[in-house]
Structure 1
């Protein structure tokens, strides 16, 4: 029996989302796999993996219509640790090397980043105002910028009252969804197939595949 043990880690530092928006993450995996010498016995493995994401402090400079804004750092968004079992078997049905029964079952998690949890990415990026040129001078006689979000002078209210402000994100994640074991969204994949060699270089394969989300 062969026993394989390994550890992998990948860092995504300052992953650039926009010129003023960056995030970082670390993806790590460790595994233990047993491969029996008898090819008729199943291969099995256990993978321990995780994803730790963070967002550094961000500063958005002032623009023509918005003030400067600062956002604090966010750590552990997410901080997931997963236990992902993997099991596979390939069985020579008649001992001739021409017919095989194959089956596998495993838990898998997708790649993701911390960008969606960056507070700077949840800000209003545009807004509109109505304007009625009452005196006909072709000049908006009002405060156009975000310092006065409501109606004033010849202009109506901003279409988004949070434009130019620091606001909470549209989606708020509970701590127990961002941290812990097997909290990351995942799926289970199973496959069963039979392969038969018809002649050298040609085989017939019939299988059933299923994914649980």
Structure 2
């Protein structure tokens, strides 16, 4: 298992089909390349929410993985009865977010955009922003991919485990990020250096 992976143990054909339809609707790609041979219906559906892919493997291939039902997976990525899929716009009528929302705020799978139309962040959003997924520079280059620490205190969410790239696309760090709290509780990265918020980021309010 890697960052962003979830192992779903199908409960019935109906719920499995509903899950697959949800994945397809949200741009997940089926990667048969990663599958192994399995017998009968003893398999897991492995879903990666960072790279938006899914595939099936023999359930005995991941004996120690936490196995979720279809509903538990959807609950994990903040998709529930109160989530509405919609577009959000800035005061200048520029698209800044499309995906699942709660109370007109990003919550669940979605994509945020810079004013130039390039992606800003995509993945699973929570109360303070991105939880799992990717962040980009305004020039379109990938900045970060991985999981974020869900900050319950002052300040934004911040990188936990993943890859960090410079504005030219060069990988400059891979692994677990080291951080500490500043004097007022605001998170500060010890290693590597990381700019929490891009200056030209869209103004998005979270729950």
Q: Considering the TM-score relative to the shorter chain, is it more than 0.5?
A: no
TM-score by length of 1: 0.22
**Greater strand fraction, Structure 1 or Structure 2:** 1
**Greater RCO (Cα-Cα under 8 Å, separation 6 or more):** 1
| Rg (Cα) greater in structure | 1
TM-score normalised to the size of structure 2? 0.23
Decide which structure has greater helix share.
2
